[in-house]
A and B are shown apart, each in its own frame.
Chain A
Amino acid sequence: MLMPPRLRKFALAVHLTCSVGWLGAVLAYLVLDISAATNRDLVTVRGAWIAMGLVVSRAIVPLAVASLLTGLVMALGTKWGLLRHWWVLISFVLTVLAFLVLLSEAGVVVRNATVAADAASSAEVRALTPTLLHSGGGLLVLVLIQVLNVYKPQGLTPYGWRRQQAERRAGSGNRSGAEDQRPRGIWRALSGTRRRP
């Protein structure tokens, strides 16, 4: 079901906010992660881990969920579709992969943040291993998704091509196709469109 233009604009604004917010939150997390990996000051490392736990649980995971859901709404609610164009499909697959890796890591980061906050000895804080590979890799994947979404490189999937051909055939002659474009139900009543006798 295609969204009307005003709803589509609103959904796009929400989706953009969530997606760019996710990317920004991961960038902030990466800065903290590098700090935890390279800094020798115990208070700084402890603080970095506590902040990493908060950023993951309060910003990255909620934004990732919202970005995934609003992305689905945008794909399914517009003519682009979810499976018709390679850039949409690749973006969706990469987002799901990034989300799954995030979910597997989030619990560990929050647990490490708790350890860092409650650790009685500095050895416990020192023992926490940074997550640079995942945060750096995640950031690269999110940047790649953003690039795909901005440039929208051409390319129909086989499914998208079949749908396009079917829509062409359906729209090439019969009047019933044109009738389907008219508003229905309550929209027909509100706009005053009357059914043809």
Chain B
Amino acid sequence: MSDGTEPPDEGEAPPGMPWWVKVIGIAVLAILLLALAITLIGGGRHGPGLHGSSAAEWRLSSAGADQEGGWREVSVG
């Protein structure tokens, strides 16, 4: 979102990488590695596959332990 204001003059010396770029880079890398690890450990079930039937089994089995406070079926129309 460059807004047309003039970029600052950065001087004569070649610039190093600012600290905040390193922080963001490490955070993004950590998240990508975490997603990769979850994918490998979960047998490739991270991402869209997580929301499919395999995840549904987990959801149904955990819901089974909560029969008392379970879902209310409400009729529509």
Contact = CB atoms under 8 A, between A and B. Distances in A.
A161 B15 contact: yes
Contacts of A104: 47-48
A39 B42 CA distance: 27
Contacts of B48: 104-105, 107-108
Interface string A62-75: 00000000010011
B7 interface: yes
B71 A42 contact: yes
Interface residues of A, number: 51
Contact of B18 (A12, A129, A153): A153
Interface stretch (A53-61, A119-127, A182-190): A119-127
B65 interface: no
A156 B13 CA distance: 11
A75 B3 CA distance: 9
B70 A155 contact: no
A8 B4 contact: yes
Contacts of B8: 154
Nearest to B53: A127
Contacts of B56: 127-129
Nearest to A2: B4
Contacts of B43: none
A8 B1 CA distance: 11
A90 B60 contact: no
Contacts of A164: 9-10
Given A84-B7, A155-B18, A158-B15, A41 B74 contact: yes
Interface in B8-66: 8-10, 14-15, 17-18, 20-21, 24, 28, 31, 47-48, 50-53, 55-56, 59-60, 63
A127 B60 contact: yes
Contacts of B63: 126
Interface string B64-77: 00000111111010
Given A42-B73, A79-B6, A144 B1 contact: no
Given A90-B24, A123-B60, A40 B69 contact: yes
Interface of A: 5, 8-9, 12, 15-16, 19, 40-43, 71, 74-75, 78-80, 84-86, 88, 90-91, 93-94, 97, 104-105, 107-108, 112, 122-123, 126-129, 131, 137, 144, 149, 152-158, 160-161, 164
6 contacts: A12-B1, A40-B69, A41-B71, A43-B74, A86-B21, A128-B56
Of all A-B residue pairs in the complex, the 5 with the closest CB atoms, nearest first, are A127-B56, A80-B2, A149-B1, A155-B18, A129-B55
